[in-house]
Amino acid sequence: MKAAVCLFCFGWMVLFAGELQTRIYRFEGMNPEEVEEQVRRFVPLGPRVLVNPEVNQVMVIADAATQEQVARLFERLDRPMHRVVFWFRHNQDEPQSLNLMDGDFANFPVTRTPVPQVVANARARLRHESRNAPLVGSVLQTHFSVLRADPARVRIRLTPAVLFGGTPPYEVILFSEMSTDVMMTDDAFVDLVDQLAENEFYRMFFRSEGATAGRHTPVGLLISLEEVISE
């Protein structure tokens, strides 16, 4: 049993802000230490993960967004595992090959200088005590689900996000209402900016504020599914 979480966003550590919730998850046929290791990838704070191996339960204290990630983790632990290999290119940077497990989350960098409309919208959603936190940048939170291994077909849930804070871990404002799914096969690359261009919010989100106020530069985001490996 293996699982991993990729936080690929300019090397940023992120913290999903929100009210804490307590949930209990059950597991069967799995080593309690391995279960705890997987959960702590999402919830690293010691007292917020408590495993009871006698009844095969783990209690998790975290915000709603993190609880959703943990719930998805338990949904897939008993299923056959698939590794997703894909290629990603941001603007004119060198393409990068990434390895993720089915069900993993990754954060793709968009820009360090989102346009003012996007920043203002995100800042208005911050907690009152964080309203003046410095801007870090914007990312696309992505969640990968293997629908079919051969021939490969993968669904990617995309959620726009803006990061704030002076030092890591940063606070992340998710635009969950703008989440959308993109289907990928292993026979073509996907231009995310072009695919989502009909949506007005995404047209703003995929632009970077230039050195001169009011001058925006388009962002480039290309991904390609290379293969799905069954493990």
**pLDDT per position in the chain (231 positions), as tens?**
333 333 334 433 344 445 889 999 988 777 888 889 889 888 877 778 999 988 889 999 998 888 998 998 887 776 667 899 999 999 999 999 989 988 888 999 999 999 999 999 999 999 999 999 999 999 999 999 998 888 899 999 999 999 999 998 899 999 999 999 999 998 778 999 999 999 999 999 999 998 676 689 999 999 999 999 987
Q: What is the pTM of this model?
A: 0.69
Pairing of strands 14-16, 82-90: unpaired
Residue 18's pLDDT is 56
pLDDT at position 16: 43
* Cβ atoms of 74 and 29 closer than 8 Å: no
* Closest-CA residue to 115 (of 197, 192, 203, 216): 216
Domain span(s) for CATH 3.30.1370.120 in the chain: 14-77
CATH class of the domain defined by 14-77:
alpha beta
Helix (H) or strand (E) holding 68: helix 64-77
User: Rounded distance, CA 159 to CA 193, Å?
Assistant: 13
Buried b or exposed e, range 150-175, using 16+ CB within 10 angstroms: eebbbebebbbbbbbbeeeebbbbbb
Phi and psi at residue 118, in whole multiples of 5°? Answer: -70, -45
